[in-house]
Structure 1
């Protein structure tokens, strides 16, 4: 299991977005991972989901970040 934020973000993404983000420059990956971490920390709804399923909360935050990027 990855321990850096980019690796964790990539793991949380669906396969299509994982391939897209994985092909981007490292700086962009880091920017998206930072947005993902901010999303995880800023949303109380995700805090509740995180207590039930951390992986589901991370995937939902990743989906939100990628939706904003589209």
Structure 2
């Protein structure tokens, strides 16, 4: 069974940010997950990191997406 984009995004977040995002409405979670996927696709530095460690690349992209939301 495939994990949906929101679940993958939540898994890539730090525990603190994951809790914060989970408190938000599903629509906002989906918007953030979409921004996360776009970040993964557009950043060529993440492509190289993704080849070395996919979870690290996903976490880096997730951190970029939520950076301004909670700081």
Q: TM-score range by the shorter chain?
A: over 0.9
Q: Residues of 2 paired with 1:28 and 1:54: CA distance?
A: 24
TM-score between both structures, scaled by the size of structure 1: 0.94
Aligned position for 1:60: 60
Q: What secondary structure sits across from 2:3 in the alignment?
A: coil
Please report the TM-score for the alignment, with normalisation by the length of structure 2.
0.93
In the alignment, structure 2 segments of 5+ residues that lack a partner are none
Partner of 1:3, secondary structure, is coil
CA RMSD of aligned residues (A): 1.4
Gaps of 5+ in 1: none
Number of residue pairs matched by the alignment: 70
